[in-house]
Amino acid sequence: MMPAFDGVIPPVLASASASGIPNVTYISQVYYVDRQHVALSRQFFNKTIQNVTENPVARVVVTCPVSYNAYKLLLEFKESQTEGEVFTNMRIQLEVIAGMQGKQDTFRLLAADIYKITSIELVYSLVK
């Protein structure tokens, strides 16, 4: 599953407001922090951060570019970081992703949003 965090295939993030209005968006990266946490790159997500502030539950689907297995992570928003090791590593990784896509001037990391992983589910596999 670890290659799914490399940013090769854009992850899909879903959140909902406190009143249940959904928001779905592609994001640049899901960064593995430890066995219980991931960080999501916040670049533009005004609606997403508004939603998780009201309702801290989110789901993200990551796809492994090696096996094409897709995993759904149920997450709970914990905090935003704008400095430190996780933020710096994500900024560097985002620069690499932007360079591969020719979008060096478009991608700017505003924050590393830290989420607790509540569950992980395999939702698609080429292997039966």
> What string of pLDDT tens digits covers the 128 residues of the chain?
999 998 789 999 999 999 999 999 998 889 999 999 999 998 876 899 999 999 999 999 999 999 999 999 999 999 999 999 999 999 988 887 766 666 666 667 899 999 999 999 999 998 76
Q: What are phi and psi of 49, to 5 degrees?
A: -65, -35
Residues 6+ apart with CB under 8 A from 88: none
What the block records as the tokens of 50 is 């508004």
CB 13 within 8 A of CB 58: yes
pLDDT value, residue 86 = 97
pLDDT value, residue 11 = 95
User: Which residue ranges form the domains of the chain, and what is each CATH number?
Assistant: 2-124 (2.30.110.10)
pLDDT value, residue 108 = 79
The 3-class secondary structure across the chain, one letter per residue, is: CHHHHHCCCCCEEEEECCCCCEEEEECCCEEEEECCEEEEEECCCHHHHHHHHHCCEEEEEEECCCCCCEEEEEEEEEEEECCCHHHHHHHHHHHHHHHHHCCCCCCCCCEEEEEEEEEEEEEECCCC
Q: Specify the pTM.
A: 0.89
What the block records as the tokens of 68 is 């094409």
| Cα–Cα distance, 41 to 59 (Å, whole number) | 14
